[in-house]
Amino acid sequence: MPIERVAIIGAGMAGLTAALSFARHGIACDIFEEADALVEVGAGLQVSPNASRVLSTLGVLGRLEAVWTEPERIALVSGMSLRPLAHVPAGRFARERWRAPYGVLHRATLQKALLSAVEQDPLCTLHLDTPVREDAQGSLPRITGKTYPLIVGADGVWSSLRASIPHSPKPDFSRNVAWRFTIDQSAAPSWLAANQVTAFLGPSTHVVAYPLKEVGGFNIVAIASGISPGETWDAEASEAQRAMLLSQFHRWDRRIADLLAKAERPTFWPLYEVSTGRWHNGRDRVLIGDAAHAMMPFAAQGASMAIEDAFMLANRVAGSLPLAQALSAFESERTGRIARVRARGLFNRFAYHARGPLRFGRDIVLSLRPPQSLAADLDWLYGFRPE
């Protein structure tokens, strides 16, 4: 018999999606969030078809389509010369090939849409300003007066619940940081295309740019080596840190280097990865999203994997298997897919950051690949159907 109630630690995208996914099966959810308000964190976000398909099933996609942008393509461009190298078609092509859209939007837009759906669902209850750290199974009944046969750790890369799961993954700083800022459309240079996601490729670094309707301009993210400021997603950059960033782009096309140098109030976040390990304790606790498998953003799949996790966990738990077996089946299904996404990210990192002769070889190979061929390479990723 399916369980009747679940506790979810964390009200980010993974936690809110999990709540809606469980409620879809008639399972009540209490979501516990240590922040006293769900405030905007981060900037832009790419939602690929594998995730938008889930959001459509949960009734959230329509709220996003009204405000997001569906880029016509994902373009790869030389950061050294601004010469186009290759592209994967998106826009209408994505809807036709993968039967779901590819959109870009502000992270806060997705969070607000998920939060609104949670607040309207009678099976979901959000508890703000309610940290849950050690002894979750003991502390939660004192907060709500209820017991929970399952506790879901959706509390991110620095998860507290993870410590209670034997042989669970461990976080580690990747020695890379992601710098981010936005620029207004009126100040955007003509070489920033407003109809695409553009990845500018360069030695050991890369820059991603795409339009954001919500800010009336562009979201810019630069991935480079850096020093971790600690457990934060939104650190202010010092002059020394900005100098460290700019020094890594000195060989790039001057137009990109100037854009980075003129960035107003750039922030950055340390890129942490989480090792392989157990996601559940075999009884009543399970991890999803970054708590289970935080990864580098080279495949732009962090949010999408968290959304998939949440949906598939609820499907498994609501099925016919006993809870312990359902958790094992969920972990087995997801670890295989996560491993493949990690491998794709490592491949992208190698290709994006190629140096010397490898860079020239990469450019030649990419120029020979037709867009439809590059799209076919992503069928396993974007065409995934978690049902």
Rounded to 10 deg, the angle between the 302-317 and 49-57 helix axes is 40
> Looking at the domain assignment, is residue 121 inside a domain?
yes
> Looking at the domain assignment, is residue 145 inside a domain?
yes
H or E element that contains 174: strand 171-184
> Looking at the domain assignment, is residue 92 inside a domain?
no
pLDDT at 230 (0 to 100): 59
The number of distinct structural domains making up the chain is 1
Cβ–Cβ under 8 Å, residues 70 and 124: no
pLDDT at 81 (0 to 100): 94
> Looking at the domain assignment, is residue 264 inside a domain?
no
Q: In angstroms, what is the C-alpha Rg of the chain?
A: 21
CA distances from 93 to 69, 85, 101, 102, 311 (A): 14, 19, 9, 10, 25
Structure tokens belonging to residue 75: 């373009």
- The type of residue at 76 is L
> Looking at the domain assignment, is residue 210 inside a domain?
no
CA distance 304 to 293: 12
Q: Which of 86, 110, 125, 128 is nearest to 378 (CA)?
A: 86
CA distance 230 to 245: 18
> Looking at the domain assignment, is residue 90 inside a domain?
no
pLDDT at 212 (0 to 100): 95
Backbone φ and ψ for 278, nearest 5 degrees, come out as -75, 140
> Looking at the domain assignment, is residue 51 inside a domain?
yes
End-to-end CA distance of the chain, in Å? 20
Cβ–Cβ under 8 Å, residues 248 and 225: yes
- How far is C-alpha 213 from the geometric centre of its chain's CA atoms? 19
Per-residue buried b or exposed e for 94-108, using 16+ beta carbons within 10 Å of the residue's own CB: beebbebbbbbbbbb
Q: Which of 7, 25, 98, 2 is nearest to 312 (CA)?
A: 25
- The type of residue at 278 is R
- Write out the DSSP string of 242-284: HHHHHHTTTTS-HHHHHHHHT-SS-EEEEEEEE----SB-SSS
Residue 151 lies in domain: 5-69+105-171+274-349
> Looking at the domain assignment, is residue 167 inside a domain?
yes
Domain harbouring 11, CATH code:
3.50.50.60
Structure tokens belonging to residue 310: 């949440």
pLDDT at 337 (0 to 100): 97
Rounded to 10 deg, the angle between the 13-24 and 49-57 helix axes is 50
Q: pLDDT tens per residue, the chain (387 residues)?
A: 579 999 999 999 999 999 999 999 999 999 999 988 877 666 799 999 999 999 999 999 999 999 999 999 999 999 999 999 999 999 999 999 999 999 999 999 999 999 999 999 999 999 999 988 777 777 898 889 999 999 999 999 999 999 999 999 999 998 888 889 999 999 999 999 999 999 999 998 999 999 999 989 999 999 988 766 655 555 676 777 788 888 899 889 999 999 999 888 888 888 899 999 999 999 999 999 999 999 999 999 999 999 999 999 999 999 999 999 999 999 999 999 999 999 999 999 999 999 889 999 999 999 999 999 999 999 999 999 987
